[in-house]
Amino acid sequence: MVLSGWDPRKGQFEEQVLPDFENGLQFGPVTKPDRAFTFRKITNVRGLRRHIEADYYSSSEVDVIFPELQKLLGRITYKWGWPEMVTKCSSPYIALIYSWEKAEKEAIAIIDGESEDEKQARNDLKELLRIISTSSGDVRLDRYFKSRQALLCEGSITHEALWTLFPPGTLIVGRPCHDEPQIFVVESCRNFVRDDDDFAMVCYSFDWNGTVFSRVPFEIFIESWGGERKGVTSLPYYPLEFYEEDGLSREESITKLKERLTRRGKKFVEYCVAPKGKQMFKYSNGAAYFHQSGTLLQRKQTDSGMELESQRNGSSTKSDNNGAAAIGVRASWKPVSSRGGSSPRLKLIVVTD
């Protein structure tokens, strides 16, 4: 089948050969695309003229043309939000970076029974990964890949590339309250940040609002420490998979921590759902902390009896920041505003072993 159409650029009719169809089905020879993808580097010249720092005015994008490569990329990155058929993507290629190790394995995999097109898609993927990891057109991404192998071997990270540690769904460990370990689940985070900007991410934790248990979002900030590399476990928040206690392997350390937090969680549930008339508890040295309407309160013994003193900027904040400052990195966190608009009832929020 030949389609004749007017080409305004040439000022004449051009003929295009189309595949033949019969009853809605294609028959006859199929013309394959002559390339798998188009890789395009982009520079914002206007931005470069106005700003000295060029890092944030360079980028790249990929038009994926070969259908089998579209499917392969979709299978690899679908977990991180890319579609099942990836036809276009752009730097910093977040979903692909999160899936990088899987993509490398898929690129060299040999699968019995695959068609020639599927085999070709793996070769095309290998070439795409090579381009992105060596000359992506995005200065920040190129800088990350230049040191990526060293970062992996050392278990270290740069402030700029913190986002590569925190894919959505990652379990992270931190000590935001009174040096007590707590597990959060990452919901989202910023990608590349400048060396002088704080890194921010939204994480979820399990909490009690006075009526039901539910996931509660917290916005967590990690302050900048400059451009040098830093050990992952020296961060105030880091992926649980890096957790390690003295004298134990990582696997043993994580198992021990989970058992400890499970015991603490059972106590927390027990205290929260205690029936009316059984809500009197004993506290050592008066160190009981409560949460009401966004303010941290501490139980204090006074001449007139027991009172709750605001700790919004008190010992809790000092303890948390001092702990982070000891390793040269500071962090802060705050609850994300409740969508319901109602303030939680008075509740116990700190439970220790």
Q: Are 334 and 350 in contact (CB under 8 A)?
A: no
Q: How far is CA 21 from CA 2, 3, 24, 98, 117, in A?
A: 12, 13, 6, 41, 22
The model's pLDDT over 125-158, given as tens digits with 9 standing for 90+, comes to 999 999 999 999 899 999 999 999 999 999 999 9
Task: Examine residue 298 and state whether it is found in any structural domain, yes or no.
Answer: no
Task: Examine residue 157 and state whether it is found in any structural domain, yes or no.
Answer: no
Query: Do 113 and 183 fall within a single domain?
Result: no
Task: Examine residue 285 and state whether it is found in any structural domain, yes or no.
Answer: no
Number of structural domains found in the chain = 2
Q: How far is CA 105 from CA 66, 92, 126, in A?
A: 20, 20, 9
Task: Examine residue 215 and state whether it is found in any structural domain, yes or no.
Answer: yes
Q: Are 291 and 349 in contact (CB under 8 A)?
A: yes
Query: Do 90 and 194 fall within a single domain?
Result: no
Query: Do 222 and 168 fall within a single domain?
Result: yes
Query: Do 183 and 60 fall within a single domain?
Result: no
Tokens of 346: 């008075």
Q: Are 208 and 274 in contact (CB under 8 A)?
A: no
Highest averaged pLDDT of the listed ranges 177-181, 234-238, 295-299 = 234-238
Task: Examine residue 153 and state whether it is found in any structural domain, yes or no.
Answer: no
Query: Do 105 and 192 fall within a single domain?
Result: no
Q: How confident is the model at residue 167 (pLDDT cuts 50, 70, 90)?
A: very high
Task: Examine residue 123 and state whether it is found in any structural domain, yes or no.
Answer: yes
Task: Examine residue 119 and state whether it is found in any structural domain, yes or no.
Answer: yes
Provide the b/e sequence for 292-322 (b: ≥16 CB within 10 Å): beeebbbeeeeeeeeebeebeeeebeebbee
Task: Report the distance separating Cα 162 and Cα 192, nearest Å.
Answer: 8
- Domain with 120, as residue range(s), is 33-142
Q: How far is CA 262 from CA 29, 184, 233, 267, in A?
A: 63, 14, 22, 9
Query: Do 106 and 231 fall within a single domain?
Result: no
Task: Report the distance separating Cα 236 and Cα 173, nearest Å.
Answer: 8
Task: Examine residue 20 and state whether it is found in any structural domain, yes or no.
Answer: no
The model's pLDDT over 250-306, given as tens digits with 9 standing for 90+, comes to 999 999 999 999 999 998 888 888 887 766 666 555 555 554 444 444 444 455 444
Which of these three, 82, 111, 142, is where a domain ends? Answer: 142
CA 295 to chain centre: 28
Indicate yes or no: pTM above 0.85.
Answer: no
